C-alpha cells in the first residue's frame, strides 16, 4: 500500500482485521514509506481484507494497492507486524 500508511496504525489494524477473518501473514513497513501485506487464507476472506486495505484505519490515506494472487502458500503461521 502507498499513501499515508505509516504512523497511522495501519499495520496493527490490518493484523486485527486479518485475525478476525482467520487469515495468516504479515504487515511490515517498507523503507520507501509503503506497507507490505502478505496474507494466506480462503479467497472470500482475502477479498474481505482487500476491501479493508483500500481504506485502512481512520487516519490513513491509501493511494494505491498493488495486488498479486499466488497459488503457492508460503510457510506462515499467525499474523506478524514488523
Active site (catalytic) residues: 11, 29
Within 10 angstroms of residue 56's Cβ, the number of other Cβ atoms is 23
Q: For the chain, how long is the longest CA-to-CA vector?
A: 34
Distance CA 72, CA 1 (A): 22
For residues 41 and 50, the answer to whether their CB atoms sit within 8 Å is no
Amino acid at each position: 500500500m502507498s499513501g499515508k500508511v505509516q504512523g497511522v496504525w495501519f499495520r496493527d489494524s490490518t493484523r486485527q482485521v486479518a485475525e478476525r477473518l482467520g487469515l495468516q501473514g504479515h504487515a511490515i513497513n517498507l523503507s520507501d514509506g509503503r506497507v507490505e501485506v502478505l496474507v494466506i487464507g480462503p479467497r472470500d476472506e482475502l477479498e474481505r481484507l482487500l476491501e479493508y486495505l483500500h481504506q485502512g484505519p481512520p487516519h490513513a490515506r491509501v493511494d494505491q494497492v498493488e495486488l498479486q494472487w499466488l497459488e503457492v502458500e508460503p510457510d506462515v503461521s499467525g499474523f506478524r507486524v514488523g
